Amino acid sequence: MQHLVIGAGQIGPHVARQLAEAGEQVTVATRSGRGPADLRTVSLDATDAAALRPALDGVDVLHLCLHASAYRDDAWRRELPPLERTVLEAAAATDTVVVFPESLYAFDASAPISPSSRRAPRSGLGEVRHLLLDQRAASPATTVSVVAGDFIGPGATQSHAGPRMWEPTLAGRTVRPLGRIDVVHPWTYLPDLAATMVAAAARPTAPVVIAPAAHATQRELVEAFAAAGGVDVPRISPLPMGVMRAVGALHRESRTIAQTGYLFNEPVRMDFTATREALDVDATPLDVVAKATIPA
């Protein structure tokens, strides 16, 4: 199969490398033409319909690993729906399957999130994700949305479980996670997300697929990073969401984070039973994830 991966941020390189290792033909496209040095890359602006349509000729699967320019609902609303409309129109015209990484924001998190979970967005970000899922469902193109928890693992630079957590842990400094640190939360290892996207692309039989996740509290994450680094568990002093809301009065990104604070104040779980059974992808154990995440 011929694959095109658009985007070389947190997700795209993992997807592309797994495809290449499996012997698939894969190209990484970015606007600049820059990408992983060990993979074939091309320059492509995915918002340019005239350029995208011919780029999909002969492509069996498009993995759309792009995101908005800022972590704000106004940026998401302005940028993402037109981007995806352009992609869906080109994919429908070329009979290309489109695989999207998806977040939890659009779904009812009061019960384990599954492929049949109802939509119940509780933030501006969630409303945009809800719109995008509806847009995909209405398209004649075949689409698969792979729902992930918060990212963890190599390359997860913008995650709550990224450097802002493991760097102070390894240095013995106070760790400042958000919200309640002893409520369970789903953490999706980026290679597990990539493996799910690759498997779903080969068998695009369901429009929504749940990626595997390790269910752990933020305290357990800090403990796992400390064990992986061979250091003592540092002091943990969480930032309450009320503080983030107060800061958000002056700082837009902090206000956006506070909107989704319920995900860190309430227990959240993901039900990926169908992924394990149908796609043979399971969650990597947390101790393995922690060792793979921190620098050697």
Q: Which residue has the tokens 């792009």?
A: 66
Residues of the chain with pLDDT under 70: 249-250
CB atoms inside a 10 Å sphere around CB 19: 24
pLDDT tens figures, 275-296: 999 999 999 999 999 999 998 7
pLDDT at residue number 251: 73
Please provide the DSSP assignment of 269-290 as one string: -B--HHHHHHH---PPPHHHHH
Contact of 46 with 66, CB cutoff 8 Å: yes
